[in-house]
Chain A
Amino acid sequence: MKPRIIKHRFLSRLRLKESWIIFFLLGIIMMNYPFLHIFNKSITLEGIPLLFVYIIGGWAVSILVIFLFTHSIKTESDDDTGSGTR
């Protein structure tokens, strides 16, 4: 019961236009200076460069977030802002 409620609440927040814009801006900020500067170091993790891990990891997370976003549109079923099949 509980995780489902949390999931539902989370998804319903994602439906807001503001959430999309926040994540969009967050993505731009996190993939730019100065965030990049934090990871821009000659360090490797298990032999793989830190910056590469950060970028690939961050990218994967952003795709996951979009996936969740689109999922929230689905749960919203067919309201007006939803599928405009024409």
Chain B
Amino acid sequence: MDKKMITIYIDDKPYQVAAGQTVMQAADKVGFRIPRLCYHPKLSIEGACRVCIVELEGARNFIASCAYPVADGMKIRTNTPELRSARRDIVELILDNHPMDCHTCERDSNCELQRLAYSMGIRKRHFEGEMKHYEKDVSGVAVIRDPNKCILCGRCVRMCSEIQKTSVLGYAHRGFKTVVMPAYNMPFRDSSCTACGQCINVCPTAAFLEKDYTQELFKKLNDKSILKVAQCAPSVRAAIGEAFNIEPGRTMEKQLAAAIRRLGFDYVFDTQFSADLTIMEEANEFLERLQGKGKLPMITSCSSAWMKCLEQYHPDLIDHISTCKSPMSMQSAMVKTYFADKIKRDPKEILSVAFMCCTAKKYEAARPELEVNGMRATDLVITTRELAWMIKSAGIDFLAIKGEEFDHPLGLSSGAGTIFGTTGGVMEAAIRTAYELATGETLLDIEIGAVRGLQGIKEGKVVMDGKEIRVAVAHGLGNAAELLDIARKDPNRYHFIEIMGCPGGCVGGGGQPYANSNSIPLDEECLMKRAEALYTLDRNKTIRRSHENPDIQRLYKEFLGRPGSPASHKLLHTHYKQHFPVGIIPESLKQQKPAEPANK
């Protein structure tokens, strides 16, 4: 270890810690868990909440341990009666301006503020001051905002500007009247919000939530006149167990199929099937582009938050985007055409529901250009969190349920479809198939380590038919912007780029279960475990390449013809266009230049 080691005293005992870190970080490593609220290891240090104060010998006031650097010989106390009392007062003051409605709150039992209040020993409210009252913003189809629940920790603002670099959220006004909101207090629907949902993930309370469609779904599940068809994204199975207090990293694939069926669905399909389908189309498109039909590098289009981000901030790259729809939309298109034909059912009587790890998919499902034959392809999108709640609410014992298989003909998938759920997965899956399509040989070493892992930008190379194919992968919209800048400066550097809107890819999606009491939102270890769970599923499958999936082969034989056929173009491909968020770009500038105002 290069770092100099120093001695600090915590609660009168000496500890050897590395220099150059904060008191909180050092204390964490030697087994102290100082209470905290606004702190998040992936975000900059704000020191807004003051919950993490500790006593430092010789200092006049308590210091915020999240922001204070360690120094040799410093003496820290973490749990004196004065500290406990001061911390409790701080949390009580936050609570004073917070609605007293825990028992009817969406985040009841999953709220960091609630946990903190409990651990501080707050058993009654001492302060009764003025409270804020704001309108809820429920205008968006994916994310809703309730400023009354906001405690101004600023995690969402930092997430939005530092990790996603979309800077949709900011503080407005001052003092008691401070509110977190999009620019100009625009409704979310009109703002440049990409609906990635990371604000929901990092929010300690219920100030941000996904728009709830569960009641509507429960009602429709009881309607005998419609056929209820579900699909379930890869990373839902990698994370839903956490909502039932299972350690991250255990997949619940078969239980999930069984539980969804018990909710009242007639058919339970797998989005991984259409992930395979996406690969067939995308690999084909990529090879066509390699032969000069279209621009390189080709950029993936599976992530809905990324698509909105692209249309707003990177319109110059629209020609580089794969025209393939996302797996969810492909699946829904197949449900309402191929499958409806097969079972001889009017597609208008089919309810297509997608269980996704994603909030932006709610936005995607509502995009008009994804309609199929004049119908909405995906009728409802339900997040992993909502699904877990529905399972509990319907009285299904998820952990005791006997596993079942997904239904045919849209439920069988290869390992390539499984790994879609993690960053680098789409790239890896595409290479597995593209290699074989291009060379006629089977790619033997199919686990492509270079595109795996949580590094922000990953680069890899494959030699295909004597030609070196250079690929790059980014996850999180901030990393994406950085990667695209590299690609803009050096247009020949890459052939193929995968971008996922959320940290870690879909496993870190905005609709995944909240962090458990002993974890933090978007904990890297947790994301790694979810990803590893998907890689394990892949390893245990006999079919690991999309084109070897017999149901995919049948779909092409019976219905689509071949990848890139007119039928696939009609149903599986779409287009993107520059999109101006209302109120962001002045009218006079619209014709003149593509602008990237908020994506600094």
Does chain A bind chain B? no
